[in-house]
Structure 1
């Protein structure tokens, strides 16, 4: 976590017991737009391809996770807490979850097309191919603070 994000995190918890861990990261292809949707309370969910947790040897998210959301300049803009995590094939993601991601017209079709393109591109970089039953990690989160 960069110093600015760490300072934001520390300032938010000043005088209260701080959770033991936090990460700082940007959302997908358009970090600024996606962060704005989070800050407006429109985006309350996100998903990622399970394979990248395996390849990066990273633990899966849990309901104990807090995150500092960064904009495209790596500046902190919000804090979220993960409240639900599930892993399932992409073609089993519900319309309601797709809408909770808050992107585009919030339709399942929009969600599918954007995520298929994103995952296809990301998987190609690691010499893997997209499939409709790609395992995805679906997270729901609550907005804790907006900077």
Structure 2
């Protein structure tokens, strides 16, 4: 986590009576970090998904309800703090239209095309292939703070 992001995180918790979680991650969404970050800040993007198999390969814990994360733009500048409100694992071809629309990237068909391309490229780098019934981790989240509101 860079200095600016850490300062933002600490500022967010400064007046809280709670202790800040220690397992917070700072990350960029997808392959168009600026556009996706703007969708988060505007409230149009309230969900995301990831390939379940990569958690196993990379020995990473699954996301959980209540988890905080700091969303970064393409320049690694923080734009918002989000908190996970729901986590499910399901086959990609069983994802509901409502969930796809909550990702904020257009229609269900556009969501499918974007994610099929993204997962195909990502999985290829692990010598794996995309399958329509592959399990994905579906997360819903809420924005708890916007960085620009602090500037």
Asked if Structure 1 and Structure 2 have the same fold, meaning a TM-score greater than 0.5 normalized by the shorter chain, the answer is yes
CA distance in structure 1 between the aligned counterparts of 2:30 and 2:90, rounded to whole angstroms: 19
- Three-state SS of the structure 2 residue aligned to 1:58 is coil
Shift of 1:3: 1.8
Give the aligned CA root-mean-square deviation in angstroms: 0.8
Structure 1: 5+ residue stretches without partners: none
- For 1:138, the equivalent position in structure 2 comes to 138
Question: In the aligned structure 2, how far is the partner of 1:10 from the partner of 1:83?
Answer: 22
Q: Does 1:55 align with 2:57?
A: yes
TM-score of the pair, normalised by structure 1:
0.96
Counterpart-to-counterpart distance in 1, 2:11 and 2:104: 28
1:76-122 Cα offsets, whole Å, 9 max, x none, are 1100000000000000000000000001xx21100000000000000
Q: Identify which of 64, 71, 74 aligns with 1:72.
A: 74
- What is the distance in 2 between the residues matched to 1:129 and 1:40? 34
TM-score, length-scaled by structure 2: 0.94
Tell me which stretches of 4 or more aligned residues in structure 1 moved more than 3 Å: none
The corresponding residue for 1:5 is 5
Q: How many residues align?
A: 145
Tell me the residue number matched to 1:84: 86
The equivalent residue for 2:109 is 109
SS of corresponding position for 2:81: strand
- Alpha-carbon offset, residue 75 of structure 1: 0.8
Post-superposition offset of 1:19: 3.2
